[in-house]
Amino acid sequence: MRISTLFVLAAIASSPLRAEEPPAQAKDFIDAFQGLFGEHKGARKGHAKGVCAVGSFTGSAEAARLFTSPLFSGERRPAQIRFSMAGGNPAVPDATRSPRGLAAQFSLPDDRVHNIATLSTPVFGAATPESFLGLLRASLPGPDGKPDSAKLAAYRTAHPDTQAQFQWLQGNPPPWSYANAAYFGLHTFHFATAAGERAVRWRLQPRDGIRGLTDAELASAPADFLAARLSQQVASAPVQFDWIVTLGQPGDNESDPSRPWPSDRPELNAGTLTITAVGGDACTGLNFDPNVLSEGIRAGDDPILRMRSPAYAISFGKRLSGQ
């Protein structure tokens, strides 16, 4: 089945609620993003600023032996890719301390596809859709056009699950290039094997290494440099990422993307994502819903992940209709 795709927000869903928290709805996130970033007709409501790229993924021999999904068969799978800045502002400066995104759609046999949507932070910004929605609302600007820093700090204190990503962003500089950041799948997925299933998390690790902007580069960075820098790198040589799969163990949390797994979990290199061209608009009409998966891969029980499908769909529909 052919499925057109896009990249929008960075996540959302449902889980045990606090007594004062009504269930979050997908439309709530679209409204919150527009309140935060303004109305930009025809633009993605999340990750509004980005650049298309073209490439392919080839699974490793180890992944082909272990996993049954055709994504990891070892054959070359063409990919449409989009690198992006988090948030709904299409003019956000490229040196902003916020997550970067990498979304991709892989073409599989019989017109099937597999989507991924990642962030450059190892954890998501909240544990549940309700907590994330509250964080967005606490960040809304007041009459002076600025968020209430005391209100936002109080919300983070009352919701500890919103602190890990924030602290990571404060402690790590923005990437020098889209090609020099690791990108995390954040959620737990289940990969089928000949013996059953394995719970996994994964990341895309840059072959050229992780490189952040220095303080001097941060102070002098132009508003737009990431797309051009990536294009220059790819013109010199293909940019590559290793798909590193972390194998979960019994008891590992599968429903909270704001919490990382223990660092001692076994890992394997499941293949290589190669970027061969940058630019154009091939990714513009795609909805990179990360719940669109190949045979042999299923989503874990993560309410944030579940919410992404309806939120992406609403945003995609608005974009297609020029809203």
Side-chain half-sphere exposure of 1, counting CA atoms within 13 A: 6
Average pLDDT value for residue range 162-189: 98
| Distance, CA of 224 to CA of 268 (rounded, Å) | 35
- What average pLDDT does the chain have? 93
Burial of 71 (0-12, 13-18, 19+ CB in 10 A): buried
Instruction: Show the tokens assigned to 284.
Output: 């513009």
Q: Are 21 and 50 in contact (CB under 8 A)?
A: no
| Distance, CA of 104 to CA of 114 (rounded, Å) | 8
% of the chain at pLDDT higher than 70:
93
| pLDDT number for residue 3 | 38
* Closest by CA position to 17, among listed 121, 105, 148, 126: 126
Side-chain half-sphere exposure of 54, counting CA atoms within 13 A: 9
Strand partners, 197: 192
Element (H, E) at 119: strand 112-119
Q: Are 137 and 28 in contact (CB under 8 A)?
A: no
Which region, left, alpha or beta, applies to residue 196 given φ > 0 means left and ψ of -120 to 50 means alpha? left
143/181: higher pLDDT: 181
Query: What pTM was estimated for this model as a whole?
Result: 0.92
Average pLDDT value for residue range 203-209: 99
Q: Are 58 and 271 in contact (CB under 8 A)?
A: yes
248-252 contact pairs (CB < 8 A, 24+):
248/188, 248/198, 248/199, 248/200, 248/201, 252/188, 252/199
| pLDDT number for residue 319 | 87
Report residue 222 CA to chain centroid gap.
24
Average pLDDT value for residue range 241-249: 99
Q: Are 88 and 295 in contact (CB under 8 A)?
A: no
Average pLDDT value for residue range 292-298: 98
Average pLDDT value for residue range 165-177: 98
Q: 190 an active-site residue? A: no
Please provide the DSSP assignment of 131-179 as one string: HHHHHHHHTSB-TTSSB-HHHHHHHHHH-GGGHHHHHHHHHSPPBSSGG
Q: Are 52 and 279 in contact (CB under 8 A)?
A: yes
Average pLDDT value for residue range 254-282: 98
- The third-level CATH classification (topology) of the domain covering 26-320 is Catalase HpII,  Chain A, domain 1 (2.40.180)
Which residues neighbour 195 within 8 Å (Cβ) at sequence distance 6 or greater? none
Tens-digit pLDDT profile for residues 98-134: 999 999 999 999 999 999 999 999 999 999 999 999 9
* Closest by CA position to 131, among listed 174, 84, 165: 165
18-32, 112-126, 266-280: segment of lowest average pLDDT = 18-32
| pLDDT number for residue 20 | 61
Residues 40, 47, 114, 159: which is the catalytic one? Answer: 47
| pLDDT number for residue 323 | 81
71-75, 140-144, 193-197: segment of lowest average pLDDT = 140-144
318/120: higher pLDDT: 120
Match 């633009």 to its residue by tokens.
Answer: 43
Residues within the annotated binding site? 312
Residues within the annotated binding site for heme? 312
